[in-house]
Amino acid sequence: MSKRKTMPTFESEKEEMQFWEEKDSTEYLDWSKAEKVVLPNLKPSTKTISIRLPESLLHSIKIEANKRDIPYQSLIKSWLADDVKEAASRKG
């Protein structure tokens, strides 16, 4: 494609997200000229959730986290990530 469309301006991030959900970026960008970017300090977006656990399970998790000297929430995230990764590799 020789002629690219002009990149529009957006009033909000929501408007931009909706635009890119409906449009093909190759009409606006020449991806062959893209350069690899490394963002070493970028933290992944997180979402706070609420989960109900039996008190005895939470107590056991806190004990295990204490043994490892990490916050119990971090231990739970680690276990969940490991399990999801393992499940994906079994499917793959």
For the chain, what are the domain ranges? 1-35, 43-92
pLDDT digits (tens, 9 = 90+) for 10-24: 999 999 999 999 999
Banded model confidence at residue 43, pLDDT cuts 50, 70, 90: confident
Single pTM value for the model: 0.54
Banded model confidence at residue 91, pLDDT cuts 50, 70, 90: confident
Instruction: Say which CATH architecture domain 43-92 belongs to.
Output: Orthogonal Bundle (1.10)
- Residue 68 pLDDT greater than 60, yes or no: yes
Average pLDDT value for the chain: 92
SS (H, E, C) 21-78: HHCCHHHCCCHHHCCCCCCCCCCCCCCCCCCCCCHHHHHHHHHHHHHHCCCHHHHHHH
